[in-house]
Amino acid sequence: MSVWPAIDARGLGRVAVLMGGASAEREVSLMSGRGVLAALQSRGVDAFAFDPAVDDLAALRASGAQRAFIALHGRWGEDGTVQGALELLGIPYTGPGVLASALAIDKAMTKRLWHCAGLPTPQWRQAASLAEAHAAAQELGFPLIFKATHEGSTLGLKRADSAGEVAAAYGEAARFDSQVLVEQFIAGDEVTCAVIGAGDAARALPLIRIVAPGGNYDYEHKYFSDDTRYLCPSGLPAQEEAQIQQLVLRSYRALGCRGWARADVMIRASDRQPMLLEINTSPGMTGHSLVPMAARAAGLEYADLCLLILSQAALDQPHRNPVPPSVPAPDGKEQQP
């Protein structure tokens, strides 16, 4: 008997699958969105594609969309902006809400909150100039990882092993963002853990251990190469895997996430301490993506995963009265309260 709930696809209504968008991850988003759209339609959902970079979001209301599956990645897709627009339109959407999305897209803010919650994450500094990057490197020591603070998909990620490599690493990250995260490099096993649900009902999926050529899990190896190995089952001791799943659930709840997300974790080789790196609130759903892989290991096929995520679409502030009544203004004209 399946541990996953049965979902009435017809009861989900008309669904807009948001894909594409204007971020640096547009092409990956289109791949994710097409996969989700085909999966939902295969289960009988009245779903259609919607690209916010092509069509005005206001058209969603006229389209009759009753839910939105967000398959957008990066800025303007998983940073709270499209979530805010959907809140105003009164269209329930997948994934975390406005605040959680805005917090999670900002790697530095995510780490600050995790640090305040007592959750382990590598030491870091933020740099807005090459001089600040050099100062951060001197303070943190080498090796270091440089990341674009507000980008995903490993865009702009580069390692520096010495002071002579800081300029190149900072420059690569700064191509994508005015704010660069400088983070201590953690040597060890790299794993990722997906979460589905909200609050106490949130559930962590099986871990996936990532083994990339030369330890370089970059954009190419993430989405297009067949050289990267993804181990699920992870091969880790059961107790260690359970410990990391609980850590990820705590990190998910600390940010106020709901719906679904995926957290990346490094297990420090020196003492097997898991260290939280970042959390993705609109994970990829491509042929190389990791959430579908973990879901399969938990007995949930791709199309059913899409249905489950869609069934949890919600609003931060459900509309009790979508069209506020007009009230008379002192000058006799109508105004909105």
Using one digit for the tens of pLDDT, what is the confidence trace for 48-72? Answer: 999 999 999 889 989 999 999 999 9
Q: What's the confidence (pLDDT) of residue 320?
A: 64
Question: Would the pLDDT of 113 be above 60?
Answer: yes
Question: Would the pLDDT of 128 be above 90?
Answer: yes
Distance CA 27, CA 23 (A): 9
Question: Would the pLDDT of 85 be above 50?
Answer: yes
Share of the chain above pLDDT 90, in %: 81
Catalytic positions, please?
25, 153, 223, 262, 264, 278, 280, 284
Distance CA 20, CA 54 (A): 9
Q: Which two tokens stand for residue 331?
A: 């000058």
Identify the H or E element spanning 296. helix 290-297
Using one digit for the tens of pLDDT, what is the confidence trace for 203-239? Answer: 999 999 999 876 554 455 444 456 789 999 999 999 9
Residues 237-254, mean pLDDT to the nearest whole number? 98
Q: At what angle do helices 130-140 and 166-174 cross, to 10 degrees?
A: 120
According to DSSP, residue 319 is labeled: -
Q: Domains in the chain, ordered, with CATH?
A: 9-94 (3.40.50.20), 123-185 (3.30.1490.20)
Q: Which of 178, 105, 188, 208 lies closest to 143 in space, CA to CA?
A: 188
Mean pLDDT, the chain, integer: 91
> What pTM was computed for the model?
0.89
Q: 174-198 b/e with 16+ CB inside 10 Å = b?
A: bebbebbbbbbebebbbbbbbbbbb
Q: What's the confidence (pLDDT) of residue 331?
A: 54
Share of the chain above pLDDT 70, in %: 90
Distance CA 274, CA 5 (A): 31
